[in-house]
Amino acid sequence: MAEKQSSKLAGAAVVGNLTAREQLERLQDQRTAQGSRFWRRIRAEKKAYLGLIFVVLLTFISIAGPVLAPYGADNVDFDQLAAPNLHHPMGTDSFGHDLLSRVILGTRVSFSVGIVGALLSLIVGVAGGVVAGYYGGWIDNLIMRIVDLIWAFPAIVLAMGLVSIYGAGVRNVIIAIAIANLVAYARIVRGDVLSLRESDFTVAARAIGVRDWRIMLRHLLPNVAAPIIVQMTLTVGFGILTETGLTFLGLGVNPATPTWGQALNESRNFIHQAWWLAVFPGLAIGFTVLSMNRLGDGLRDALDVRNVND
């Protein structure tokens, strides 16, 4: 026992004897070790890895869309409603647009709306959840009752309500996605913070006088990062589904913009003549959301996050 104690002390002394630079290097080594463990786990988890590759690919398509698309979005020099052929692998629409080009260009809209909406709901939801869990009492009660109220509105209905008040358009669709999805973040984070609040490191930080916001930001947040990352990928998927749904109804993104939802809306009028109008944009949606879901599911396993279903 005494021996153990002394060796511990010796260890501390050695650390104390290290120069500041050496200590820093040590810390950095630990960090990289943590980082590479994260990557190793993701690579070991095939689902996550495949999802990640698809998401990177889709990000590239949404950025480089205008270069990749064989024709411009408004190029209408082709036969109208031509079936898929060598020049137009996905056929053309009723205006004579090349559908492949429109599907490629639509990636940017759906992808960015999904990601921005998810990020916004992450920021608001996580902030609400941390504050509610950390302070407890009436603050917790107030925040979580608001969350309960939001939860009573199905996402698409909430979005339609907001659009009916503020009008259609990208900005309002993003706000709607953000509000509808913040519930999950707030609930996950609050639950975790509630238990972390009593942990030794939080109590210690409070004892030496670390300010509340710093405890939340530096000590609590990193500990709830894993479920947040998982939820983020899933939210992007939900967001894309909400956006395409609203745009399909004509309540979302401006119909002049090439989007998947808009293409599907148009397909309804030509369902007897042109199956390709319905099939390809739908597959694009499915592929994107599937990639996000796979990534989220794989990350959940890789980061060992318990299953949160509400």
Q: Name which of 202 and 244 has its Cβ closer to other proteins.
A: 244
Q: Name which of 221 and 279 has its Cβ closer to other proteins.
A: 279
DSSP letter at 307 equals P
Cβ contacts of residue 5 below 8 Å, gap of 6+?
none
Which residues 111-170 are close enough to bind other proteins by CB under 8 A?
Answer: 145, 148-149, 152-157, 160-161, 163-166
Phi and psi angles of residue 92, each rounded to the nearest 5 degrees, phi first: -125, 160
Binding residues with other proteins: total (CB under 8 A): 41
Q: Name which of 128 and 237 has its Cβ closer to other proteins.
A: 237
CA distance 262 to 189: 36
Q: Name which of 160 and 189 has its Cβ closer to other proteins.
A: 160
One of 107, 202, 235, 244 touching other proteins (CB under 8 A): 244
| Residue whose token pair is 């706000």 | 175
Q: Name which of 60 and 166 has its Cβ closer to other proteins.
A: 166
Find out whether 252 and 71 touch, Cβ atoms under 8 Å. no
One of 96, 275, 305, 308 touching other proteins (CB under 8 A): 275
Which of 282, 278, 274, 284 is closest to 83 using CA atoms?
274
CA distance 305 to 115: 21
One of 65, 237, 258, 298 touching other proteins (CB under 8 A): 237
Q: Name which of 185 and 238 has its Cβ closer to other proteins.
A: 238
Give the contact letters, 277-306, x = binds to other proteins (CB under 8 A), - = no: -xx--x--xx--xx--xx------------
Applying CB under 8 A, does 210 fall inside the site for other proteins? no
One of 68, 194, 249, 303 touching other proteins (CB under 8 A): 249
* Minimum distance of other proteins from residue 31's CB (angstroms): 34
Q: Name which of 95 and 166 has its Cβ closer to other proteins.
A: 166
* Minimum distance of other proteins from residue 175's CB (angstroms): 13
**Alpha carbon of 28 to those of 32, 34, 219, 223, 303: distances in Å?**
6, 10, 18, 19, 21
DSSP output for 111-129: HHHHHHHHHHHHHHHHHHH
Q: Name which of 188 and 215 has its Cβ closer to other proteins.
A: 188
> Maximum Cα–Cα distance for the chain, whole Å?
89
Which of these ranges, 120-128, 208-216, 222-230, 248-256, lies near other proteins under the rule CB under 8 A? 248-256
* Minimum distance of other proteins from residue 167's CB (angstroms): 8
Q: Kindly give the residue spans of alpha helices, DSSP state H, lying in the chain.
A: 2-17, 20-44, 46-68, 99-135, 137-151, 155-166, 170-196, 200-207, 212-214, 225-249, 260-267, 276-302
Which of these ranges, 71-79, 113-121, 123-131, 269-277, lies near other proteins under the rule CB under 8 A? 269-277
Cβ contacts of residue 118 below 8 Å, gap of 6+?
177, 178, 181, 232, 235, 236, 238, 239
In the complex, which residues of this chain contact other proteins (CB under 8 A)? 145, 148-149, 152-157, 160-161, 163-166, 237, 241, 244-245, 248-251, 264, 267-268, 271-272, 275, 278-279, 282, 285-286, 289-290, 293-294, 307, 309-310
